[in-house]
Amino acid sequence: MNVSDVKFGLNTFGDVTVDAAGAPVHQAQVIRDVIEEGRLADRVGIDYFAVGEHHRADFAVSAPDVVLAGLATVTDTIRLGTAVTVLSSDDPIRVFERFSTIDAMSEGRADIILGRGSFIESFPLFGFDLAQYEELFSEKLDLFAALLPEEPVTWSGELRPPLENQEVYPRTENGMTAWVAVGGSPESVIRAARYKMPLMLAVIGGNARRFRPFADLYRQANEQLGNGDLPIGVHSPGFVADTDEEARELLMPHWLDNRNVIGKERGWGPAGPDEFDSEVRHGALAVGSPDTVARKIADAIQALGLSRFDLKYSNGPMPHEHLMRCIELYGTEVIPRVRRILEREA
């Protein structure tokens, strides 16, 4: 691993935040705040800023590509992408057209992460059958991969009409990078390698080291397919403050609020401070001072041989001003510390 090549990103789902009095902020303001957060990430030198797609009340962003288009006009160097685009309930051609447009607006800074998504609201909303959950993603990813060479496409599948020598516009100037998000399925890992797409592992619970078999499988598949070394990234939650105590105190109520809303929908038991503490100490949550968070990120990068680490900095209704401080510390304090650790221990 070349330490200088490791990239660092920030991810947000546009969680609906609260104000100083604890009242929910309007979704419109949350979207404007996400733009401000992305601009700050650009100013402090972060490599990637990615926005998730959801269709529910607690997340403001349902059209991340529109948010990214706005960011493309007010940022300079940061790469802009999704976390993730729910390809199963979208049209691959329209997705490609939107992102090639963002790529033009940003002068070549658009990336996309394609996934099935861990939430299912988009399926009934857009008229898709959940019984076809796997088939929809598999076929649409196949079509999207066929679009990447940006040449006339002849393609056929089972779920939409075929294409015959079809051209898709606008074309990009230097090609588009499409990552595939994987939550823990070996078949999905192999599929990413088969399409020669970089792999983004969603490490949202438990220690990152338990994902080593997936990273190894991806490398083995790429070797067998003759792909060479392709990037592996991780999307993982966390929060940075000036001290460990402040970070935990600020994040815990919002993390628990978010976790228990989703947990109730999915039949999980309620979580309390002990579960939060366990995830911080032993699991995926990278929470604390710049030193503490840097050490945890460096451990994940070393354990999995990562090319990219994205911190999901929005975790529940955390007020915007605390998110801004987290972004500032991540860019100015955490990332330099991670690089020093990796260089020292290379």
Domain ranges of the chain: 3-344
Q: Which of 92, 217, 79, 213 is nearest to 147 (CA)?
A: 92
Residue 184: the pLDDT is 85
List the structure tokens of 240: 């940075």
CA 121 from chain centre, in angstroms, equals 18
* Length, in residues, of the chain: 346
What's the whole-model pTM score? 0.97
Residue type, 152: P
The CATH architecture one would assign to domain 3-344 is: Alpha-Beta Barrel (3.20)
Residue 44: the pLDDT is 99
According to DSSP H, which parts of 267-289 are helical? 273-282
Which residue numbers in the chain have pLDDT < 70?
none
Q: Which of 142, 146, 150, 143 is nearest to 175 (CA)?
A: 150
Cα(333)–Cα(203) distance, rounded to whole angstroms? 23
Cα(210)–Cα(87) distance, rounded to whole angstroms? 27
Residues ≥6 apart with Cβ < 8 Å to 281: none
Residues ≥6 apart with Cβ < 8 Å to 303: 208, 209, 212
Q: Which of 167, 142, 170, 168 is nearest to 156 (CA)?
A: 142
Residue 296: the pLDDT is 99
